[in-house]
Structure 1
Amino acid sequence: MLTGKTVVVGVCGGIAAYKAAALCSKLSQAGADVRVIMTRSAAQFITPLTFQSLTRKPVAIDTFDEKDAAVISHIDLADRADLVVVAPATANMIGKMAHGLADDMLSTTLLATTAPVMVAPAMNVHMYTHPAVIDNMNKLRERGVRFVEPGTGQLACGYVGQGRLAEPEEIFDRIAAFFKADAPLQGKRVIVTAGGTVERIDPVRYITNDSSGKMGYALAEAAQALGASVTLISGPTALPVPAGVERITVISAEDMLQEVMARYDTMDFVFKAAAVADYRPAQQRPQKMKKTGETLTIDLVKNPDILQTLGKIKKHQFLVGFAAETEKVDEYALDKLIRKNCDLLVANNVSLEGAGFGTDTNIVRVFDRDGLVEALPVMSKREVAEYIVRLAASRKQAAAIPASTENVEAAGVGQVPGAKEHQEEHQGDASCTQR
């Protein structure tokens, strides 16, 4: 699948450098022209001969070791690359990339290339969560650099936490997905709402909820990766903006409604994942309220229902709603879908471990007007997001042009490990059968 593609693999100094050998082997077997650049520190952990044997190509280490007088090595590699992958990427190399430093072969090539860049970090857990490293990664994301997040587990330094290099298979899959002609939302315009809204009581107090925005941001990232032009309308959150996505930050429910409505007519899809406050204070005090007694009563008024508003005026748009429940998930989800005229409704029980606010995983049940479409097992929010986006794309396409079952399967819908088995477990449950 990678035949004819040139992948430049940058290997930095860390114990995880041995995994880069397995990655290069997989890329070569898949037909890629693999060119390896090692830092001098990387050569302390694994020899250049290993990579040369796996790729059948010379390994670059020294910027001034020019083997071919006809070209300048780092410019030649920068120009050849269809994709540059840095794995493992140390905190030092990430810092160099963020600040445009070029003092060795790898950093110089990275500064010279116009090819897309994918980074797989590997470092101590405290280094990975250091504010400087986080800031550097956010800068790179804003520039369009793709990240393969490190795994969590035992680290070489003895700590247990996030920082171990993603497995070669995972990095390879991300590379293969990058090159795969897979853009069902190409040319489509998408709105994703995310996060919680803030309803002010006075200048220092407000009403909000526990939404982290992670599910919405994952949806925005997935939609963009599948070809869409994505506008992310988000409540306050510290999450980085997915590469290639336009973010509009709002505060209150009324702010969010205004921004959504200003764009709704031109949109093809809306994924309404924000946890919008149902009520707001009837009066927002201009100054801080002082304590005046043992109790305090605040009058609340109902906020506009954004999802219901969109459902009432929907024309060509495909509308996906979300419901966070703690009981009677199926009953409440179907009721919400019908009342608010959604095309799909994604519900989760936030009281379940692995499905609540702020987690990196989710457990969702997807509904249409006929009932349960799919009950997904615990999965990362990014995996859940891709399933939902693909399903929405295939449903909208099927509504426009009748599609066979084979075409829907070809679009990738339902290809979620464990999802079918999980649904089969519940086929005898009356609450899961189709209405």
Structure 2
Amino acid sequence: MIGDNVYYLALSWAAVRAGSPAQAGLVMTVSAVPRALLMLGGGVIADRFGPRRVVIGSDAVRCAAVLTMAVLFFSTDPGLWPLAALAVAFGTVDAMFLPAVGALPARVTARGQLARVQGMRGLGARLASVVGGPVGGLAVALGGAATAFGLAALLIAVSIPLLVSVRIRELPTDDDRTGAVGTGLLGTGERPGVDAVDAVGPSEPAVGDAAGARGSAEEQSGAVGPREPSGEPAAARGGTAWRDLVGGLRYVRGHRVLAPLMLVIALGDLGFVGPLNVGLALLADERGWGAAGMGWTLAGFGAGAGAASLLLAVRGRVPHAGQVAAHAILAGSVAIGALAFAPGVFAAVGTAVLVGLLAGLSGALCAALLQTQSDPAYLGRVTAVASLVSLGLAPLGMPLSAAAIGVWGTGPVFVVSAAVCGLGGVVILCFGHLRRAELPR
């Protein structure tokens, strides 16, 4: 994550130096196109070939691409086209990397620890955002874009042997057959993982019906991981990628927890990203807080979100996770609306801490529910759908928020955005299976 932050800083700096602001903006956004177009396919690849090998392979490709750019900058001035090509390559690899990373936690730890893993991952992201920017800026100051790209490649390279050292557990045979190969069971109305999730308590495994009924006490307690006797990758046992993709989408659509959860994620990103990015900058300018005031407000949000991640990392399990997420979303939406009416910088910072705490808690709980309620054989595709929803709607919210603020001002737009976020909490309360969802013990 730190390497990614340094890479994006180096890319933006090099693009600004090589072209006009409009051209630099285009370079920074072209990576979103392949990432959005290929994300669902990346989920299929993660489930078919296993998340570990996909993560390692995509990380190695990212390292090689960034290192190549560093060599180009050390030897010549490459201009905009190589930067655009790097951005496209990075976005393409991200489409494989993100679903695989989302599917990996269920293969390295017991279900009862997945919520804690999400909290630890949130802490890692906060640390990377705090450290990555200054480290990348220092690299640019000392040696320009070439040094920054070289440092990003080095940081990504360090992660590869760490990933290689990670040991994973194979899926049970039934999970592999119904989930990763796509035998068409979903087309008959059977939904592996749905009945097991809804009918059993939080200590039961959220895997396919047959696997859940067969699961041993050792597997349920996390003493040993699920085992697959054959050890073969899913792709080696037949089935087409298209059937896997369709099966994954049907699985999400038919799941009584995951389907409404995707809607919650979409509403949260659509209503949250705009105000906390474009909207906050315009609000700070309108109120005369300046860049420093905006920076402190963003720091307050980051501190609150980090505290929420720390809570989940330490506690591991929050009782009544569905209900807690709903109420956190509703309370957080009120705080988002109140941010536009803060009388000064100190009040804005305090409100931002509250927004970060509530939004961070609800976001971490939604991510943990997505992990624990999904059949492990589908996690790559489930993560791909969730990532596509976020990556597709989040950029849409920023220009809409900016245009709306230009017409109606910051107050009304923040209130409407808060209402959109709040609808996510309403969705949870309206769907009983999601409202009653629990994290495993």
The bucket for the TM-score relative to the shorter chain is: under 0.3
Relative contact order (alpha carbons < 8 A, sep ≥ 6): 1 or 2 greater?
2
Larger radius of gyration: 1
Scaled by the length of structure 1, the TM-score of the pair is 0.21
Relative to total residues, which structure has the larger strand share, 1 or 2? Answer: 1
Between Structure 1 and Structure 2, the one with more helix by share is 2
